[in-house]
Chains A and B, each alone.
Chain A
Amino acid sequence: MAAFDCGDEALNVYLQRYALQNQERHSVGVTYAAVAQETQNAVIGYYTLAASSLPKSSLSAETARRLSPYADVPCLLLARLGVDKHFQKHGIGRRLLKDALKRCVLIRGEIGCRCLILDAYPGAVIWYQQFGFIPLRSPDPKARTQKMLMDLRTLDEESPHGL
């Protein structure tokens, strides 16, 4: 894990210092890693999924009524996704994202949740957009990140779209 370098220090440090502790001690997210046999099972990419919610109190009454009649709006957070620099452009990110989405479908079926949200770096927005993630505001060159959403019903195997 120490050799993992995706080019973003925050993502590197998270994997090396916090991922395991967040998962095992604090139970605030689970990290899934891709490893490569040719590098003695070193981590070449990872993502972290966490439960999240939008507090009802932060929504206008009308918005809250439309989204959830009962409580905070449950959603899943793709908290992090990174691929080691040496393995970028090899489809590892796609495969990690696919794995994350499949997991989200299962979680939605098991406990119910509405959407998957993420906070993407500006450089990654187009990458997520190509798979159907929708930016939640107009592009702002000054913004550090862009919140994006995928409605998990889009992925529902039972949906008429038949994914």
Chain B
Amino acid sequence: MRFQAEIPEKDGSLLNTLVKDLDVQSNAELLTNLIALALWIVAERRQGRRLTSVGPSGQSKELVLPLFERAAPSQELPHIEMEWTPQELEHLAELASSSPAKPNEKLKRLMQEP
């Protein structure tokens, strides 16, 4: 299969650096290895496993990329109910049904900042 892709100049240089650093013979060889890596990551995330790197003294960093999170099992955030007291609702109704407050100077400045 022939594979062609247009990538930004900057990514092209990074790709060349990778080819050199990893001592692979061609872009094709690099791509084949990256596919294997991506497949492994997807398989791990599908099982809900997290990806971390562990440093020499045991400190770990987790890899979280939106791309791979798409493969992760569905996680539902525990539902948090906003409970309203009658006083809060009454205050809200009062504010929302009267004339709107004028924006203060800080808000005006904030909204006019470039």
Contact = CB atoms under 8 A, between A and B. Distances in A.
B74 A21 contact: yes
Nearest to A101: B111
B96 A114 contact: yes
Interface string B94-114: 011100111110111011110
User: For this complex, into which size category does the number of interface residues on chain B fall?
Assistant: 35 or more
Interface residues of A, number: 47
Nearest to B77: A18
B75 A134 contact: no
What's the dominant secondary structure at chain A's contact region?
Answer: mixed
Contacts of B104: 130-132
B84 interface: yes
Interface of A: 1-3, 14, 16-18, 20-22, 24-26, 54, 58-60, 63, 66-67, 73, 94-95, 97-98, 101-102, 114-115, 117, 119, 130-132, 134, 136-137, 147, 149, 151, 153-156, 159, 161, 163
B76 A26 contact: yes
A142 to B, nearest CB: 14
Interface in B32-51: none
B1 interface: no
Contacts of B96: 67, 73, 114-115, 149, 151
